[in-house]
Structure 1
Amino acid sequence: MKLVAVTAGLSVPSSTRLLTDRLAGATADRLAATGARTDLRVVELRALAREIADHLVTGFPGPVLREALDAVTAADGLIAVTPVFAASYSGLFKSFFDLVEHEALTGRPVLIAATGGTARHSLVLDHALRPLFAHLRSVVVPTGVYAASEDWGSAGDGRGGDLAGRITRAADELAALMAARPAADPAADRVVPFAEQLAALRVG
């Protein structure tokens, strides 16, 4: 199964990337426990910022961005993580998903998550991220994960308290939806040439 995690953190190191890795690892572990083979890919939007801006202006994606968009639309499950800017998702995060074709994520299981400096911004999950993926016709798992600065603990290990429980619960939900959904089949969306269609009719 193809699991893709999109992370929009800007700093290095990034708490957004840290949360992404924890969610991706927990989901992959859960899928492995069911016997599923998981192909995990992390798309770091920070590295794609210039190509995203160029695509918005020119309408043509660069090769690295095109490959990232193809990976997202071919995924069996998606993890989307953004830092909170001005009480919403970041502009880089929104710009990337603006480039995803409107129906390309229809029915796709998505786990949403965000990071911020204070717990007061946790409503970004329901007020911004859920509506965005509802617009893209995705199936968003019930548990969204928000991590404020205090959630990481004094040692910054992110293993204690409620955050670990939310990560586990959300990963379980995403893995369950992925396991219940048929694997993405790129051939299903292939345009069949007219001559090939005629040949199939003659055989019938």
Structure 2
Amino acid sequence: MTRRIVVVTAGLTVPSSTRLLADQLAEATQAQATARGEALAVDFVELREVAAELAAFMVTGGVPTPRLTELRELVASADGLVAVTPVFNGGYSGLFKMFFDALDKDSLTGTPVLVAATAGSARHSLVLDHAMRPLFAYLRAVVVPTGVFAATEDFGSHGLSERISRAAAELAALVLSQDGYGVGGFVPDLAARPRRTSGTQVEADVTPFGELLRGHAGDNAP
């Protein structure tokens, strides 16, 4: 069975250090899965390509375009997620936050997530623990122990390569955990996790609006 991860990257330029880090994380995670005899497919989501659609989603009260609907379903059905953002003003980018605000609140429940960030200075490394982990904890995702931060001078260094390999191993282990793999002896039962939803489908058991209004006279009388 081929598992699938989605890599969400919020880089704004081409080329982008954020996309470069995302590529390295995806490649390392695939390599870890291959080493375990498993196949792992990767889908990339470049947020700059849907920036205008995300802005429209926010100002129209949450009406998604067909492309956003497709991306929401893609994320909700993934076996794992890699989330990479550049750092602006000490936190994740507004574009990054807009995308995760546009997801259904249950779309990442129990999903293994690897968080990563890029910045021009190592002074911003706390963004992983002070901003990104709380965001995905709120979304009830399972964030892997190792986050990956890369300042400009880190690219090409042995230390960054080690962090990428360690984080990728942790993510691959969680994604493949239904086959008996786990991180630090912990093997979550992903099959038993709460139901995930993309927010794009109407529930079959929705109560008809007419029934909800049955007996209501249309005034404000008690």
Structure 1 equivalent of residue 143 of structure 2: 140
- Larger relative helix fraction: 1
Output one character per residue of 1:65-106: Cα deviation in whole Å (capped at 9) or x when no partner: 211111111110000000000000000000000011112111
Q: Secondary structure of the residue that 1:64 maps to in structure 2?
A: helix
- Within 5 Å, give how 1:54-203 maps onto structure 2: 54-58=56-60, 59-152=62-155, 158=156, 160-181=157-178, 182=190
What is the CA–CA distance in structure 2 between the aligned matches of 1:173 and 1:88, rounded to whole Å? Answer: 24
Equivalent residue for 1:21? 23
Match of 1:44 in 2: 46
The ranges of structure 1 where at least 4 consecutive aligned residues each deviate by more than 2 angstroms after the TM superposition are: 181-184, 187-194
CA shift, 1:26, in A, is 0.5
Q: Is the 8 A contact 2:11 2:85 kept in 1?
A: yes
Is the Cα contact below 8 Å between 1:84 and 1:124 reproduced in 2?
A: yes
**SS at 2:172 equivalent:** helix
Q: Note the aligned Cα RMSD (angstroms).
A: 2.0
Secondary structure of 1:67's match? helix
Percentage identity across aligned positions?
58
Unaligned runs of 5+ in 1: 153-157, 195-204
Give 1:4 shift: 0.5
Flag the structure with larger Rg. Answer: 2
TM-score, normalised to structure 2, is: 0.79
Q: Which runs of 5+ in 2 are unaligned?
A: 179-189, 206-222
How many residues align? The count is 186
Q: Is the 8 A contact 1:105 1:136 kept in 2?
A: yes
The offset of 1:57, in angstroms, is 1.2
Corresponding residue of 2:181: none
Letter of the aligned partner of 2:130 in structure 1?
Answer: H
TM-score by length of 1: 0.86
Secondary structure in 2 aligned to 1:142? Answer: coil
Q: Which residue of 2 aligns with 1:202?
A: none
**Are 2:109 and 2:196, in contact at CA under 8 Å, matched by a contact in 1?**
no
Could you tell which deviates more after superposition, 54-63 or 106-115? 54-63
